[in-house]
Amino acid sequence: MKTAPSVEPLIELLKLEQLDDNLFRGQSGDIGTRSVYGGQVLGQALRAAGYTVDGRRPHSLHAYFLRAGDFTRPIIYEVEKARDGRSFTSRRVVAIQGGQPILNLAASFQTEQEGIEHQAEMPDIPPPEQCGGHDDNRRQWLERLPPERRANVERNQPFEFCSFEPPPYVDPQPRPAVRHIWFRANGALPDDAGLHEAMLAYASDFGPLMTALYPSGINPMLPSVRMASLDHAMWYHRPFRVDQWLLYALESPNASGSRGFTRGSVFTQDGTLVASTAQEGMIRVRSRKASE
């Protein structure tokens, strides 16, 4: 299967170099943010944990973002084999850059088993074919980057995104804290379940914090606003492919204490719930008056 050129850089980012039995090294990419994108570290950490597990798929991960990473430097992933049980396997991963931990992750893997079944209903959202596209939103983001970084980001667009609710940096006005994002990999991917799981972890960090901004009407591009993911949890429910359309349904039930909290559900186009997320992030605004 031939992979689209725009997806290949992300596939390479998620291929870690093994340095020792439980030690791996990953490279970093620039997506236009001030520091290394949290979803990249999340996906690489899950990939590192998965490299030490045979015959079991991840069903949950819980991560804390400890420090901002540098997208110009590689990241070391140290895996601890916490437990190998009859049905479940537990791993702990520390992502290290410059001698300092930047992320702690715990992940659990399970053998395939049958049991009771139920799921939440998919929101009644028009299909991706009726979505207006993401190009204008992305253009407004890219215009704020230095020319040399803009060229790099434009070359590497591994995902197509389409949202019916504009991001707050495009239309910063108060609105309900709900967002629906269709997304898929920008090309065909290999039949590698671990890669699809890591890519979903990567993509799951897009959107939650922006959703928490909706009720306040704050423009995150203002210099007075500082945002960063603090922790991220994810549960894998059913098989999926990231090169097929997925709907990320997000809601933010709370913001307080300079933090915003968001829950997410990931559905296939036929309505199957394949994953759930929860994230809390730091949102600091130095002066509301200066933001207006």
In the annotation, is 229 catalytic? Answer: yes
Residue 105 and residue 87 in contact, taking contact as beta carbons nearer than 8 Å: no
Q: How far apart are CA 115 and CA 92, in angstroms?
A: 27
Q: Give Cα 205 distance to the centre of its chain.
A: 3
Residue 211 and residue 177 in contact, taking contact as beta carbons nearer than 8 Å: yes
Residue 22 and residue 71 in contact, taking contact as beta carbons nearer than 8 Å: no
In the annotation, is 119 catalytic? Answer: no
In the annotation, is 171 catalytic? Answer: no
How many other CB atoms are there within 10 angstroms of residue 33's CB atom? 17
Q: Which of 205, 216, 252, 265 is catalytic?
A: 205
Tell me the C-alpha to C-alpha distance, in Å, between residue 7 and each of 52, 60, 156, 240: 25, 25, 7, 17
Q: Which of 97, 216, 229, 252 is catalytic?
A: 229
How many other CB atoms are there within 10 angstroms of residue 54's CB atom? 9
Q: What positions carry a catalytic annotation?
A: 205, 229, 279
